[in-house]
Structure 1
Amino acid sequence: MYKSKIFQSIFLSSLLLLVTAACQQTTAKSWLVTTQAEYQAALDKVSAGDEIVLSDGTWKNFEILFKAQGTQENPITLTAQTKGKVFLTGQSNLRLAGEHLIVSGLVFKDGYTPSSAVIEYRQNKNNLAYHSRVTEVVIEDYSNPDKAENDYWVSLYGKHNRFDHSYLAGKRNKGVTMAVRLNTQESQENYHQIDHNYFGPRPILGSNGGETLRIGTSHYSLSNSFTKVENNYFDRCNGEVEIISVKSGKNQLLNNTFFESRGTLTLRHGNGNVIENNVFFGNGVDHTGGIRVINKDQIIRNNYMEGLTGYRFGSGFTVMNGVPNSPINRYHQVENALIENNSMVNVDHIQLAAGSDAERSAAPLNSKIQNNLIFNENGQQPFTLFDDVSGIAFKGNITNSKPLAEIAEGFQVKELRLERAENGLLYPVGESIGADKTIQPIAKSATGPSWYAKNVEETAFGSGKEIQVKGNGDDLFDSVIAAEDGDVLVLAKGNYNVRKTLKVAKTLTVKAAKNTDVVITFERGTLFEISDGGSLKVENLTIDGVNSPDSSGNTLIRTQKWGMTQNYRFVMHNSVVKNLDINHSFHFFESGKGAFANLIELNGNTFTNITGDLLRLDKEIEDLGIYNAEYVTLADNRIENVSGALIKLYRGGTDESTFGPHLNMSNNQLTAIGEGKRNKTKASLYLHGVQVTNINNNTVVNSAPIKVEHTVGEPKTSIANNQLSQAVSVVELRVEGPHTAELSDNKIVNK
Structure 2
Amino acid sequence: MSHARKVVIAAGVAALLAVGGAQFAGAATPRTLVSSSPSQLSATLAQARPGDRVVVGAGVYDAGLIRVGRSGTARAPITIAAALGQVRFSGAGGLDLTGASHVVVQGFVFADGNGLTVPGDAAANRITRNTFEGNKGGADLTVKANDTEVDHNTFENRTEQGVYLQVVGPGSNDMAQRVHVHHNYFYNHQYKGANGGESIRFGLSGRQHAVADGLIENNLFDKADGDSEAISIKSSNNVVRYNTIVNSRGTLSLRHGWNTRVEGNILIGGSTGIRFFGNNHVVINNIVEDTSGPAMEFGGGEVRDDTTSGTDHEASDHCVVAFNTLSGSDYLIWYESSKKYPPSDDTLADNILLGHGQAAAKGTGTSLHFTGDILSGSSAGSLPAGSYRNVDPKLVRDANKLLRPAANSPAIGAATGSYPQVTLDIDKQTRPSAKDVGADQYNTSAPGRPLTTADVGPKAP
Q: Deviations over 1:674-712 (max 9, x none)?
A: xxxxxxxxxxxxxxxxxxxxxxxxxxxxxxxxxxxxxxx
Which one is further off, 225-234 or 344-353? 344-353
Q: Deviations over 1:119-147 (max 9, x none)?
A: 1112xxxx62111101000012x342xxx
3-state SS in 2 of match to 1:152: coil
Counterpart of 2:44 in 1: which secondary structure?
Answer: helix
Residues 347, 56 of structure 1: alpha-carbon distance in 2 compared, 3 angstrom cutoff: same
Q: Equivalent residues in 2 for 1:161-560 (5 A)?
A: 161-184=148-171, 188=175, 190-282=177-269, 285=270, 288-310=271-293, 315-324=294-303, 326=306, 327-328=308-309, 329-354=311-336, 356=338, 360-376=339-355, 378-385=356-363, 388-400=364-376, 401-404=378-381, 406-429=383-406, 430=409, 431-432=411-412, 433-436=437-440, 437=446, 439-450=448-459
Contact in 1 for aligned 2:346/2:367 (Cα 8 Å) = yes
3-state SS, counterpart of residue 216 of structure 2: strand
Task: Write the letter of the residue equivalent to 2:126.
Answer: R
Larger-Rg structure = 1
The alignment covers a number of residue pairs equal to: 404
In structure 1, what is the Cα distance between the partners aligned to 2:382 and 2:106? 56
* Matched residue, 1:556: none
2:235–2:256 Cα contact (<8 Å) kept: yes
Equivalent-residue separation in structure 1 for 2:173 and 2:146 (angstroms): 7
**Within the alignment, does 1:49 sit opposite 2:51 as a pair?**
yes
Tell me how far 1:346 sits from its aligned partner: 2.6
What SS does the corresponding residue of 1:243 show, helix, strand or coil? Answer: strand
CA distance in 2, matches of 1:415, 1:28: 62
Distance 2:337 2:158 in 1: 29
Structure 2 Cα separation of the partners of residues 350 and 40 of structure 1: 55
Letter of the aligned partner of 1:120 in structure 2?
T
Q: Partner residue of 2:69?
A: 67
**Structure 1 residues 38 and 204, CA gap change in structure 2 (3 angstroms):** closer
Q: Which residue of 2 aligns with 1:136?
A: 129
**Cα drift, residue 261 of structure 1:** 0.7
Q: Does 1:157 align with 2:144?
A: yes
Determine what percentage of the aligned residue pairs are the same residue: 25
User: What per-residue deviation string (whole Å, max 9, x for no partner) do you get for residues 615-658 of structure 1?
Assistant: xxxxxxxxxxxxxxxxxxxxxxxxxxxxxxxxxxxxxxxxxxxx
Distance 1:443 1:45, change over 3 A: same
Q: How far 1:161 sits from its partner (Å)? A: 0.8
- Whole-Å Cα distance in 2 between the matches of residues 200 and 265 of structure 1? 15
- In 2, distance between residues paired with 1:21 and 1:330? 60
* Stretches of structure 2 lacking an aligned partner (at least 5 in a row): 1-20, 413-436, 441-445
Q: Per-residue deviation at 1:183?
A: 4.2
8 Å Cα contact 1:316-1:347 kept in structure 2: no
Residue of structure 1 in register with 2:87 after alignment? 86
SS of alignment partner, residue 40 of structure 1: helix
Alpha-carbon displacement from aligned partner over 1:103-129 (angstroms, at most 9, x marks no partner): 1011123x322xxxx11112xxxx621
Residues 77 and 101, structure 1, Cα contact 8 Å, conserved in 2: yes
Aligned residue for 1:658? none
**More strand by percentage:** 1
After the TM superposition, which segments of 4 or more aligned residues of structure 1 sit over 6 Å from their partners?
19-22
In 2, distance between residues paired with 1:302 and 1:154? Answer: 30
CA distance in 1, matches of 2:156, 2:341: 38
Contact 2:62 2:94 in 1 (8 A): no
Given that residues 337 and 343 in structure 2 are in contact (C-alpha distance below 8 angstroms), is that contact kept between their aligned partners in structure 1?
no
> Alpha carbons of 1:426 and 1:302: their partners in 2 closer, same or farther (altered >3 Å)?
same
1:406 Cα deviation after fit:
4.5
For residues 207 and 460 of structure 2, what CA distance do their matches in structure 1 show?
Answer: 38
Give the secondary structure class of the aligned counterpart of 1:39: helix
Superposition TM-score, scaled by structure 2 size: 0.82
Contact 1:277 1:303 in 2 (8 A): yes
Deviations 1:165-223 (A, max 9, x none): 00001122222211011343996361010000000110043332111111111111111
SS at match of 1:219: helix
Instruction: State the 1:343 CA deviation.
Output: 0.5
User: Which secondary structure does the structure 2 equivalent of 1:23 belong to?
Assistant: helix
- What is the deviation of 1:451? 7.9
CA 1:35–1:189 in 2, change beyond 3 Å: closer, same or farther?
closer
Report the Cα distance in structure 2 between the residues aligned to 1:384 and 1:24, rounded to whole angstroms: 69
Cα distance, 1:339 vs. partner? 0.2
User: In the alignment, what sits opposite 1:108?
Assistant: 110
